[in-house]
């Protein structure tokens, strides 16, 4: 019961937070109606009609409500009750946000245009579970699902995802939700299958039901590791009831910022403070084993739940209970309230009128605008995957351990969307687009004046430099450890040597303008090509020597942190690593010095000004990177190097090419020879 009550508390907490914030809906107090669907679609529909009709009889298309505005509906937990509610609300264009529906098969956006979710579809959840299994190297697993339609879809989808990751599914068993005469024989057959196939990892999916697990926990899941999705991981009481079955199990749970501040709010919930809250009293008895003061009720609960109640001090709090504090399923409830209130707040502020006056003249128009605003708010507050539209919610991975008669639940990791990877791709695409623009306009004066061949080489190396960051991410393996520094070092050397060649050619081009100058014979493609090849080959020789003497490798660091093993890349030869950085730094410094002295050349050749600034950014970043790199450990060391790669790459890209792109795209009338040879040009 505690997880249902915690969702109720999270809802009250969210409303309380919004009402206390004076910047949100000023002069407006949020109210609410609470109804329990009891997982019954009929009761859920009746409750919705009661809210729409107001007090008294539930009459469709007729409302006795007062003048208070109905913003929307939040709920329910399961698709069994949420979708019937959505069918009713779609008729009246009222918005509905579900905090628990994960079955993305039965939701047709054309049929339910006002139905929203703050939890992802089951595709993402099972994808994360599959990644978790691959992370541990498990290749032989079993799947147990409910025998209903939801369980069949979930097991089919999960098995397909596992197959793509080359993880073999030993069996798919479907457990009946309702007990029957054949239930015992089904359990015996399932137990025999598990033992025969020697499966040590089992994934649970589909619809959770107490009956199904009560009948199977005692025997079926012993000596195996269970993987629990969020909709099952919320039943902490069941996990603690069967320690032999759930020992060493792993679960995925939602993570929310609201959990950080929720404990202080929950501390205020106490039977002495809320004596009329019978649910709270029941929770106090079943969770903290406190006597209620009602002898008949105490006796009934002791017999029913097989517990021993005692007098409590009055200092107990719900978060003191392990099962209550470890439950993280109420975060989506907070997000549902937050998104709805944010949308209301934006509509409330229109033209500085009051909330009621703002759209009182046309309620249907208001509903349509609120629906569109809520969709935008959800997209802003809860990021979505670009591929399939699923919500990119962060998950925490929890490990349940039973040691010396006590339960321990701790977070051991998390899954979340890699927004950092998105920006790396975006930067790489930017450099590709700039390269394409240069190629498309290669015969124009601006591109010709700045050596189009070297610009092409520089842009390609910058683009690949953005992509090389992917070798630094993820779990280190020997191949990535071997390639990442070599790949990065050679690419950046090509980029810096291209800049050096550009700088030298600017200087030579100016000298060649004088009559009878000996520098004229150096004008052409051969010299810059030789500079780039010669400088890059030196770096290649350094890298090959490094790999031959002491190459990088994967290692396990067991000394930096207590109770943690850090998987990281050992660079092998420290001299080899700093030789690569040092040689690259020498090239950058030479380019900076030559460009600095060439910055006063006539404006026709003033690319040296931009090269000077780009090399200043480049050298500053890598000089600052060295002490930061030496003073960090583990993933922070990798983060420092990634930061240096991205910033220095951006410095080269935008400092050298931004002005040219501006003229090509926005001021094409300036892309003429006359402009290049006049004063005050680029």
Task: Give the pLDDT band of residue 360 (cuts 50, 70, 90).
Answer: very low
> 321 pLDDT exceeds 60?
no
Task: Give the pLDDT band of residue 524 (cuts 50, 70, 90).
Answer: low
> 499 pLDDT exceeds 70?
yes
pLDDT > 70 fraction of the chain, expressed in percent and rounded? 69
Q: Where are the domains of the chain?
A: 2-117+334-381, 122-255+394-415, 419-676
Tell me the CA distances in angstroms from 434 to 427, 437, 446, one per residue in order. 11, 5, 14
Q: Across-strand partners of 411? A: 398
- Quote the tokens at residue 560: 């930096």
State the pLDDT at residue 322.
47
Positive or negative: CA dihedral 376, 84, 253, 9: positive
User: What is d(CA 35, CA 46) in angstroms, rounded to the nearest whole number?
Assistant: 10
CATH match of 122-255+394-415 with 3.40.50.2300: yes
User: What is d(CA 326, CA 329) in angstroms, rounded to the nearest whole number?
Assistant: 9
State the pLDDT at residue 6.
76
Q: Across-strand partners of 171? A: 142
Q: Among 144, 131, 189, 132, which residue's Cα sits nearest to residue 170?
A: 144
CATH code matching the domain that covers 2-117+334-381, chosen among 3.40.50.2300, 3.50.50.60, 3.20.19.10, 3.40.1380.10: 3.40.50.2300
- Tell me if residue 289 falls in helix, strand or coil: coil
> 626 pLDDT exceeds 70?
yes
Task: Give the pLDDT band of residue 3 (cuts 50, 70, 90).
Answer: low
User: What is d(CA 418, CA 422) in angstroms, rounded to the nearest whole number?
Assistant: 7
Q: Which CATH architecture has domain 419-676?
A: Up-down Bundle (1.20)
pLDDT in tens, 99-112: 878 766 556 667 78
User: What is d(CA 507, CA 502) in angstroms, rounded to the nearest whole number?
Assistant: 9
* Displacement of CA 618 from its chain's centroid (Å): 31
Only one residue has tokens 């007729």, namely 62
Give the strand pairing for 96-98 and 115-117.
parallel
- Cβ 186 vs Cβ 175: under 8 Å: yes
Comparing 232 with 593, the larger pLDDT belongs to 593
Per-residue DSSP letter, 274: -
User: What is d(CA 239, CA 631) in angstroms, rounded to the nearest whole number?
Assistant: 43
pLDDT in tens, 538-595: 999 999 999 888 888 888 877 777 666 778 888 888 898 889 989 988 988 888 888 8
- Quote the tokens at residue 324: 């209550």
Where does residue 132 fall: left (phi above 0), alpha (psi -120 to 50 degrees), or beta otherwise?
Answer: alpha
When pLDDT is averaged across residues 647-665 and rounded to a whole number, the result is 77
Q: CB atoms < 10 A from the CB of 79, how many?
A: 20
Alpha helices in 391-525 (DSSP H): 419-440, 445-449, 452-467, 478-511
Task: Give the pLDDT band of residue 292 (cuts 50, 70, 90).
Answer: confident
pLDDT > 90 fraction of the chain, expressed in percent and rounded? 3
SS3 content of the chain, % helix, strand, coil (to 5): 60, 10, 30
Positive or negative: CA dihedral 427, 430, 432, 435: negative
Least confident among 5-9, 61-65, 199-203, 571-575: 61-65
| Cα radius of gyration rounded to whole Å, the chain | 33
Q: Which contacts (CB < 8 Å, 24+ apart) does range 108-113 have?
A: 111/87, 112/83, 112/86, 112/87, 113/371
> 313 pLDDT exceeds 70?
yes
> 356 pLDDT exceeds 50?
no
When pLDDT is averaged across residues 264-288 and rounded to a whole number, the result is 75
State the pLDDT at residue 354.
45
> 70 pLDDT exceeds 70?
yes
Per-residue DSSP letter, 219: T
Positive or negative: CA dihedral 610, 613, 615, 617: negative
User: What is d(CA 83, CA 37) in angstroms, rounded to the nearest whole number?
Assistant: 13
Least confident among 169-178, 255-264, 433-442: 433-442
Task: Give the pLDDT band of residue 234 (cuts 50, 70, 90).
Answer: low
- Cβ 122 vs Cβ 161: under 8 Å: no
User: What is d(CA 468, CA 463) in angstroms, rounded to the nearest whole number?
Assistant: 9
Task: Give the pLDDT band of residue 355 (cuts 50, 70, 90).
Answer: very low
State the pLDDT at residue 185.
62
Would you tell me the crossing angle of helices 478-511 and 635-665 to the nearest 10 degrees? 40
- Tell me if residue 257 falls in helix, strand or coil: coil
What's the pTM?
A: 0.58
User: What is d(CA 245, CA 218) in angstroms, rounded to the nearest whole number?
Assistant: 7
Length of the chain: 682
State the pLDDT at residue 446.
52
Q: CB atoms < 10 A from the CB of 87, how many?
A: 14
Instruction: Convert 84-113 into a string of H (helix), E (strand) and C (coil).
Output: HHHHHHHHHCCCEEECCCCCCCCCCCCCCC
> 69 pLDDT exceeds 60?
yes
State the pLDDT at residue 667.
63
> pLDDT averaged over the chain?
75
User: What is d(CA 239, CA 248) in angstroms, rounded to the nearest whole number?
Assistant: 11
Comparing 212 with 148, the larger pLDDT belongs to 148
State the pLDDT at residue 538.
92
Least confident among 288-292, 391-395, 647-651: 391-395
pLDDT in tens, 135-157: 888 889 988 887 777 778 888 88
Task: Give the pLDDT band of residue 390 (cuts 50, 70, 90).
Answer: very low
Least confident among 331-335, 453-457, 663-667: 663-667
Q: Which residues of 660-676 are buried (b: 16+ CB within 10 A; e: fewer)?
A: bbebbeeeeebbeeebb
Comparing 441 with 235, the larger pLDDT belongs to 235
Q: Among 156, 250, 175, which residue's Cα sits nearest to residue 213?
A: 175
- Cβ 125 vs Cβ 232: under 8 Å: no
State the pLDDT at residue 193.
78
- Cβ 587 vs Cβ 542: under 8 Å: no
Q: Across-strand partners of 554? A: 569
- Tell me if residue 180 falls in helix, strand or coil: coil
State the pLDDT at residue 353.
44
Q: Among 471, 417, 411, which residue's Cα sits nearest to residue 642?
A: 471
Most confident of 123-132, 232-241, 511-520: 123-132
When pLDDT is averaged across residues 635-639 and rounded to a whole number, the result is 83
Least confident among 410-414, 426-430, 599-603: 426-430
Q: Among 21, 10, 30, which residue's Cα sits nearest to residue 256?
A: 10
User: What is d(CA 327, CA 186) in angstroms, rounded to the nearest whole number?
Assistant: 32
Comparing 499 with 415, the larger pLDDT belongs to 499
- Quote the tokens at residue 330: 């109420």
> 615 pLDDT exceeds 60?
yes
Per-residue DSSP letter, 597: H
Q: CB atoms < 10 A from the CB of 350, how many?
A: 12
- Tell me if residue 416 falls in helix, strand or coil: coil
Phi, psi of 513 (to 5 degrees): -75, -15
User: What is d(CA 473, CA 265) in angstroms, rounded to the nearest whole number?
Assistant: 39
- Quote the tokens at residue 156: 């089919």
> 459 pLDDT exceeds 60?
yes
Give the strand pairing for 553-557 and 406-415.
unpaired
Only one residue has tokens 């019954």, namely 40
User: What is d(CA 465, CA 459) in angstroms, rounded to the nearest whole number?
Assistant: 10
Tell me whether residue 474 is exposed, middle or buried, using C-beta atoms within 10 angstroms of its C-beta: 0 to 12, 13 to 18, 19 or more: exposed
> 480 pLDDT exceeds 80?
yes
Q: Evaluate whether 2-117+334-381 and 122-255+394-415 have a shared fold.
A: yes
Q: Among 455, 461, 453, which residue's Cα sits nearest to residue 428?
A: 461
State the pLDDT at residue 553.
86
Least confident among 25-29, 150-154, 445-449, 670-674: 445-449
State the pLDDT at residue 545.
92
Where does residue 54 fall: left (phi above 0), alpha (psi -120 to 50 degrees), or beta otherwise?
Answer: left
């Amino acid at each position: 019961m505690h997880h249902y009550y915690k969702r109720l508390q999270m809802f009250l907490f969210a409303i309380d937070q919004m009402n206390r914030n004076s910047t949100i809906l000023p002069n407006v107090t949020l109210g609410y109606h609470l109804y329990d669907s009891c997982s019954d679609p009929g009761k859920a529909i009746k409750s919705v009609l009661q809210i729409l009709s107001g007090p008294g009889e539930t009459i469709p298309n007729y409302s006795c409500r007062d003048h208070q505005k109905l913003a929307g509906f939040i709920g329910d937990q399961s698709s069994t009750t949420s979708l019937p509610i959505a069918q009713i609300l779609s008729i009246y264009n009222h918005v509905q946000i579900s905090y628990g529906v994960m079955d993305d098969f039965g939701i047709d956006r054309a049929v339910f245009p006002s139905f929203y979710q703050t939890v992802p579809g089951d595709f993402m959840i099972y994808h994360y579970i599959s990644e978790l299994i691959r992370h541990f190297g498990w290749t032989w697993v079993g799947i147990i699902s409910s025998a209903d339609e939801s369980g069949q879809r979930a097991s089919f989808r999960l098995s397909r995802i596992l197959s793509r990751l080359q993880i073999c599914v030993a069996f798919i068993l479907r457990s009946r939700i309702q007990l029957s005469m054949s239930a015992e024989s089904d359990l015996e057959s399932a137990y025999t299958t598990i033992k025969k196939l020697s499966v040590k990892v089992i994934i649970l999916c589909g619809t959770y039901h107490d009956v199904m697990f009560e009948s199977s926990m005692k025997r079926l899941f012993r000596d195996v590791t269970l993987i629990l999705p969020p909709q099952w991981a919320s039943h902490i009481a069941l996990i603690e009831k069967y320690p032999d079955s759930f020992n060493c199990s792993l679960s995925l749970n939602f993570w929310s910022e609201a959990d950080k501040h929720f404990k202080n709010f929950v501390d205020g919930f106490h039977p002495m403070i809320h004596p009329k809250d019978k649910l709270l009293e029941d929770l106090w008895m079943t969770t903290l084993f406190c006597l209620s003061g009602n002898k008949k009720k105490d006796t009934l609960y002791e017999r029913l739940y097989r517990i021993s109640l005692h007098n409590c001090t009055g200092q107990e709090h719900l978060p003191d209970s392990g099962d209550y504090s470890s439950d993280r399923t109420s975060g989506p409830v907070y997000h549902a309230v937050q998104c709805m209130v944010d949308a209301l707040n934006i509509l409330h502020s229109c033209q500085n009128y009051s909330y009621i006056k703002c759209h009182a003249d046309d309620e249907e128009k208001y509903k349509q605008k609120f629906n569109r605003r809520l969709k935008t708010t959800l997209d802003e507050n809860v990021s979505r995957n670009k591929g399939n539209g699923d919500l990119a919610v962060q998950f925490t991975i929890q490990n349940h351990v039973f040691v010396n008669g006590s339960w321990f639940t701790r977070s051991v990791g998390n899954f979340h969307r890699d927004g950092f990877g998105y920006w790396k791709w975006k930067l790489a695409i930017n450099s590709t687009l700039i390269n394409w623009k240069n190629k498309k306009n290669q015969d124009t004066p601006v591109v010709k004046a700045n050596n189009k061949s070297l610009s092409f080489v520089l842009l390609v190396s910058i683009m690949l430099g953005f992509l090389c960051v992917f070798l630094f991410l993820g779990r280190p393996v020997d191949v990535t450890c071997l390639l990442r520094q070599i790949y990065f070092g050679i690419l950046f050397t090509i980029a810096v040597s291209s800049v050096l060649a550009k700088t030298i050619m600017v200087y030579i081009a100016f000298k060649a303008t004088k009559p009878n100058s000996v520098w004229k014979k150096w004008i052409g493609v051969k010299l810059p090509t030789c500079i780039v090849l010669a400088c890059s080959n030196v770096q290649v020789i350094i890298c090959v020597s490094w790999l031959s003497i002491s190459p990088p490798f994967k290692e396990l660091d067991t000394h930096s942190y207590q109770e943690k093993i850090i998987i990281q890349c050992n660079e092998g030869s420290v001299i080899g690593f700093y030789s690569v950085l040092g040689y690259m730094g020498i090239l950058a410094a030479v380019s900076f010095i030559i460009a600095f002295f060439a910055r006063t050349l006539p404006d026709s050749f003033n690319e040296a000004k931009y090269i000077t600034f780009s090399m200043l950014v480049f050298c500053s970043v890598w000089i600052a990177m060295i002490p930061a790199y030496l003073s960090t450990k583990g993933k922070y060391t990798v983060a420092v190097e990634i930061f240096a790669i991205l910033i220095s790459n951006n410095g080269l890209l935008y400092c050298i090419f931004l002005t040219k792109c501006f003229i090509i795209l926005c001021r094409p009338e300036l892309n003429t020879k006359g402009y290049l040879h006049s004063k005050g040009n680029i």
